[in-house]
Chains A and B, each alone.
Chain A
Amino acid sequence: MFEWLEYDFMQRALVATSVLSVSIAPVGAFLVLRRLSLAGEAMAHAIVPGIVIAFVIFGLSAVSMITGGLIAGILVALGTSMLARRTLIREDASLASLYLIALALGIFILSAAGSAIPLKSFLFGSALGIGDDTLILIGVTATITLLTFAVMLRPLIAATFDPIFYESQSHRPGLVQQWFMFVLVLNLLAAFKSLGTLMAVGLMILPATAARYWVSTITSYMFLTLIFAILSCWIGLILSFYLSQVPTGPAIVLVAGGFFFFSLFFAPLGIIWGRAVQK
């Protein structure tokens, strides 16, 4: 029954995705609460050209890929803000236009450069082929993320729930927002290798939306998001091991989707009992 655990690549994948879940779950929880789920999805695609260009120039270097991804993410964010302020298209359309261009550009460069990374692996991830550098990247990301939440939990809750109240109480209100976006991009980059650019944000959002149907306090919400994320990774990995044609990214995200639909129908705040409870 546990023969899949005997393989070294499965042990690595299990450790990597478990640590990744610990890191990505609280980020996803706040992304949902801050109503930025779609912006997170867009950002996951926006960082692609930066990663690809860094990869083409410097090879599989975690530092250069993070730097490239961050630069691309910041450029798309600034471009979106500028287009929304100075032209007639609104923020959602500006963001959608720029991230689609960024994604296409990334795939174009990857293919044109004749990359050693197969396109499928780039888009959907390959958790079963995780190397030491990716493990280190995930570990460092998880450490930064957990430290961030240990230090910034109260400001983050206040800034998410009542932004103007928070701004009235803080001397540097923009810092929380900016640091949260940095941590978001860092987690997307950490998830990039195992889940791929199309699926990375799935592990962030789906466990968080599923957990929203069950609980009504912030700590239990974050904890349940983490449980759903870890279980999605474990079950997804096993599925991917036995169904060798299925990439790990979609398998993990599909299991998270299963938790979402289960919660939607059976949780106390879901579609069936939720209305009665909330009244």
Chain B
Amino acid sequence: MLNVHQIALGYNGTPLIQDLTFALNQGEVCAVIGHNGSGKSTLMRTLLGIQPPLVGKIEWQDVAHDGQPRNIAYLGQSADLDHQFPMRVKDAVAMGAWKGLGFWTGIDQTKADRIDYALTRTGLTDMANKPLYACSSGQMQRCFFARAIVQDSPILLLDEPFSTIDQTTQSRLVEIIKEWRQEGRGVMIVLHDLSAVMGIADTCLLLGDGRASFGQAEDIITIDNLIAHHYLSETQAEWLTLLQQKGVQNV
């Protein structure tokens, strides 16, 4: 679905990451991890076509005339959005059906059914007519997942979708991501929580120190790798190793 070969990302000609190579296949979840400022969000913006790579080219399988994929779903960090925006929950979800609509065209029955399905799947049916400001952080994030369901895209990019929600909501949303994988969609997801990475990711892209490592999640998430990419400091790594030696699991 997506092949990236030796690209460089950055701003104003200054590279943030170099020699970035990875792939995303159908029915695969790829976790993107890295320390703050390592280029995770820049990578997302580049994949969305908002910011071109400094070097190299991104190859999508099914592209429109501008070289971007025809249909790509994006779910950003909800903390950045105006939670007081005058809009009902179902209107925010319906935004996922807006692409390709003419200026005067309404939402057809197929799309309306998909909106209803998305609200049901995310448990928001009772909230559908409520204003956005009535949503908790978790409900807000479910609302954006519902919008992504409505987009019905083969590729989904999720930027820190679990950053503002509790464990119960996270488990619920993880089930939706697993469902997307079963449906053959490709998902790239920026995460901070390594246990979440090991729980849902097939592959992992580790960014940091100006470079990237890509591979199967269990091969990438190693203490040596995490130190090399400045994701963990050596002190944190020693502490983790000590705990593991003492038999503490799931640190």
Contacts and interface: CB of A to CB of B under 8 A. Distances in A.
Interface string A167-179: 1110101000000
Contacts of A221: 86
Interface string B126-158: 000001111000000000000100000000010
A164 B66 CA distance: 18
B98 A164 contact: no
Contacts of A120: none
Interface string B58-84: 000000101010001011100001100
A162 B81 contact: yes
Contacts of A35: 82
Contact of B49 (A33, A158, A161, A168): A168
Interface string B90-108: 0110010011010100000
Nearest to B76: A164
B166 to A, nearest CB: 18
Contact of B50 (A162, A168, A216): A168
A218 B98 contact: no
**Interface residue SS majority, chain A:** helix
B88 interface: yes
A169 B81 contact: no
A218 B91 contact: yes
Nearest to B69: A168
Nearest to A151: B103
B121 interface: no
Contacts of A157: 87, 95
Contacts of B101: 154
B48 interface: yes
Given A165-B74, A168-B48, A168-B49, A217 B98 contact: no
18 contacts: A33-B82, A33-B85, A33-B86, A35-B82, A154-B103, A157-B87, A160-B85, A162-B76, A164-B45, A164-B48, A164-B74, A165-B147, A169-B99, A173-B50, A216-B88, A217-B131, A218-B86, A218-B91
Interface of A: 33, 35, 150-151, 154, 157-158, 160-162, 164-165, 167-169, 171, 173, 212, 215-218, 220-221, 278
